[in-house]
Chains A and B, each alone.
Chain A
Amino acid sequence: MQKNMLLMMVSVVMIATTITSCDKDDDKMTTYYQTMDQMARPAINTVFVSAAEKDVFNTTTPSMQGGMFGTKFKTKLLALNAGYTTNLLGLNADQFTGVLATDVLNVSTTAPTTFYDGTNVLTGRALSDDVIDVELILIFGGPNAMANPGLTSDHVDMNDKPFLSAFPYLAAPF
Chain B
Amino acid sequence: MKRKQIFLSLAATGLITGGLLFAADHIDSPAVTNQTTDITDVYVFRGQDPNNLVFVANTQGLLMGSAATSAARFDENTLIEFNIDNNNDNVEDLVIQGIYANGKMKIYGPVKPAETGTRSRLQGNSTAEVAVTAYGAASPTITTTTSGLKVFAGPRDDPFFFDLTQFKKIIAGQATSFNNPGTDAFAGTNVLSLVVEVPKSMLGASSGKLNVWLETKKKS
Rounded to whole angstroms, the CA-CA distance of A170 and B158 in the bound complex is: 8
Q: A125-B43, A156-B163, A159-B159 are in contact. Are A105 and B211 (CB under 8 A)?
A: yes
Name the prevailing secondary structure of the A interface residues. Answer: loop
Q: A31-B121, A173-B156 are in contact. Are A155 and B31 (CB under 8 A)?
A: no
Q: A105-B212, A107-B212 are in contact. Are A32 and B181 (CB under 8 A)?
A: no
In contact, B195 and A167 (Cβ under 8 angstroms) = yes
In the assembled complex, the CB of A23 is this many whole angstroms from the nearest CB of chain B, namely 18
State the 5 A-B residue pairs at the shortest beta-carbon distance, nearest first.
A150-B177, A33-B217, A42-B24, A46-B22, A168-B152
In contact, B45 and A34 (Cβ under 8 angstroms) = no
Q: Which residue of A lies closest to B41 (CB)?
A: A42
- Map CB proximity to A onto B183-204 as digits: 1 under 8 Å, 0 otherwise: 1101111100101010010010
Chain B CB within 8 A of A127 CB = yes
Q: Which residue of B lies closest to A153 (CB)?
A: B178
In the assembled complex, the CB of B135 is this many whole angstroms from the nearest CB of chain A, namely 6
Rounded to whole angstroms, the CA-CA distance of A106 and B216 in the bound complex is: 19
Q: Interface on A for B, CB 8 Å cutoff?
A: 30-40, 42-43, 45-46, 51, 54-55, 58-59, 61-63, 102-113, 124-127, 130-132, 149-151, 153-161, 163, 165-174
Q: Which residue of A lies closest to B32 (CB)?
A: A37
Rounded to whole angstroms, the CA-CA distance of A59 and B184 in the bound complex is: 29
Q: A33-B219, A132-B162 are in contact. Are A173 and B190 (CB under 8 A)?
A: yes
In contact, A34 and B218 (Cβ under 8 angstroms) = yes
In contact, B140 and A155 (Cβ under 8 angstroms) = no
Chain A CB within 8 A of B54 CB = yes
In contact, A125 and B176 (Cβ under 8 angstroms) = no
Chain A CB within 8 A of B30 CB = yes
Q: Which single member of A62, A63, A132, A170 contacts B157 (CB below 8 Å)?
A: A170
